[in-house]
Amino acid sequence: KSELVSFFDEKNGEAGKLPNKFCDIAKGKNLIVIQMEALQHFVINREINGKEITPNLNKLAKESLYFDNIYVQVAGGNTSDAEFMTNTSLYPAKEGAAYFRFATNEYNTIAKELKNEGYNSYALHAYGPAFWNRTEMYKAIGFDTFISSNDYVMDEYIGWGGWALSDDSFYRQSMDIIDVSSPFYSFFITLSGHHPYSYFEDKQTFDVGKYDRTYLGNYIKAQNYADAAIGRFMEKLKAMGLYENSLIVIYGDHTGLPKTQAGELLDLLQLSDSKVDWIRLQKIPLLIHCPGVEGETITTTGGQVDIFPMIANMMGIDNYYAMGKDLLNSQKGYAVLRNGSVLTDSYYYCSEDDTVYDIKNGEVLDKKDYEDEIKEYQKDLRISDIILEKDALRKLK
Ligand code: GP9
């Protein structure tokens, strides 16, 4: 207990000394979080044959706080780990999935904090509610309502090999369900970008050139569709008068192209097969759109565990026990991965070969110069593990 108390006292004490940009700027606004399936960072602002893969997200990124150095931190729980980090700012479980192993724990969450402010909260996902143990875990996260495939009319199938509800239909039906007459937090989990991307194999929805009928080509078509659906959803929010009255957060949950499919991707991006090139591809885009805040690209290194602290600061809610940091008010950026690897603005510590690399040029650096800092960052995993395994937040409170 004393280790946890002093960790959070020190962390919050340090954070309290920093300037506080964007504090309370979205207080009272609705919160719309969209976790996009397998949306990787490299598709943003990228063209193939002169055409943008994600024109709608690119446009939105220009009008948003756009974070372009956010590393994927999911582990055994994959999509559910991304949800878990966003809603609790804790790291994924050391083994297995937190959604299964720790579904009865006490958590500090966005939904619970916003409940105190009078918000209704919704988790929306057009798939079976038992998948990833969501029904149970959403009780612990504190969502008031879980809208699942039991509630959607399966009227258009796109993605996940062509048998998951399309993002278009998902957004459209969701907005018919959410009560927008009072403040709400809606957490959308999309599916159209789910592998296999074979639904798009024979579709000519986007010209992927020489990658046509390849795994990469199909992935790009899937993300191009997901982008178009997001574009239509944003237009709907504008028409409903919600766009200007909501904090909108969009990010990818995890990567969609495994190492076994690396060849075509490295070819597209003209990259080598080095450790540093590959780790730099393990990123997702993060956009925070807040009415009245001008667009800006934030290059500070972070991870998915940092999303809650930024939402908390902007919406004026508590996040004392967050493991993440507010990247808009941090001096230094870093991301710890579940395997103990560490990424910072300047280096990559790879736990697999116990080596430190320059993040820009891949040169091997002298580990002695970094090991104290690396150990300090890795301590985050230990603290988060104690919280999960001992159900410590219940006791601390
Ligand atoms: C299923 C969806 C996919 O409900 O969230 O999860 P994933 O297979 O990507 O972990």
Structure confidence at residue 386 (pLDDT): 98
Verdict on whether the full-model pTM lies above 0.95:
yes
Query: Residue 155's pLDDT band (boundaries 50, 70, 90)?
Result: very high
Mean pLDDT calculated for residue range 5-34: 93
Mutation probe of ligand 1 site: the residue of 34, 35, 36, 37 with most atoms within 8 A of C-beta: 37
pLDDT digits (tens, 9 = 90+) for 124-141: 999 999 999 999 999 999
Structure confidence at residue 16 (pLDDT): 81
Cβ–Cβ under 8 Å, residues 154 and 165 = yes
Is it the case that residue 18 has pLDDT exceeding 90?
no
Is it the case that residue 182 has pLDDT exceeding 80?
yes
Query: Residue 47's pLDDT band (boundaries 50, 70, 90)?
Result: very high
pLDDT digits (tens, 9 = 90+) for 196-216: 999 999 999 999 999 999 999
Mutation probe of ligand 1 site: the residue of 40, 132, 137 with most atoms within 8 A of C-beta: 132
Instruction: Locate the ligand 1 atom nearest the alpha carbon of residue 38 and give its number.
Output: 9
Structure confidence at residue 374 (pLDDT): 98
Is it the case that residue 161 has pLDDT exceeding 80?
no
- Tell me the catalytic residues: 79
* Ligand 1: centre distance to CA 57 (Å): 22
* Ligand 1: centre distance to CA 314 (Å): 29
pLDDT digits (tens, 9 = 90+) for 243-277: 999 999 999 999 999 999 899 999 999 998 899 99
Structure confidence at residue 384 (pLDDT): 98
Structural tokens at position 16:
């309290």
Ligand 1, atom 10, lies closest to the CA of 79
Structure confidence at residue 77 (pLDDT): 98
Mean pLDDT calculated for residue range 348-361: 97
Is it the case that residue 162 has pLDDT exceeding 80?
no
Ligand 1, atom 7, lies closest to the CA of 79
Mean pLDDT value across the chain? 96
Structure confidence at residue 315 (pLDDT): 98
Structure confidence at residue 24 (pLDDT): 96
Query: Residue 307's pLDDT band (boundaries 50, 70, 90)?
Result: very high
Percent of the chain with pLDDT over 70: 100
Query: Residue 76's pLDDT band (boundaries 50, 70, 90)?
Result: very high
Mean pLDDT calculated for residue range 375-390: 98
Structure confidence at residue 287 (pLDDT): 98
Ligand 1, atom 9, lies closest to the CA of 79
Mutation probe of ligand 1 site: the residue of 39, 188, 194, 257 with most atoms within 8 A of C-beta: 194
* Ligand 1: centre distance to CA 117 (Å): 31
Residues forming a β-bridge with 187 = 33, 123
Structure confidence at residue 149 (pLDDT): 95
Ligand 1, atom 8, lies closest to the CA of 79
Is it the case that residue 331 has pLDDT exceeding 90?
no
Cβ–Cβ under 8 Å, residues 189 and 138 = no
Instruction: Locate the ligand 1 atom nearest the alpha carbon of residue 37 and give its number.
Output: 9
Query: Residue 19's pLDDT band (boundaries 50, 70, 90)?
Result: confident
pLDDT digits (tens, 9 = 90+) for 87-125: 999 999 999 999 999 999 999 999 999 999 999 999 999
Structure confidence at residue 163 (pLDDT): 80
Mean pLDDT calculated for residue range 293-310: 98
* Ligand 1: centre distance to CA 134 (Å): 11
Pocket lining for ligand 1, CB < 6 angstroms:
78-79, 127, 131-132, 189, 194
Residue 397 sits at the vertex; the CA angle it makes with 321 and 2, to the nearest 5 degrees, is: 70
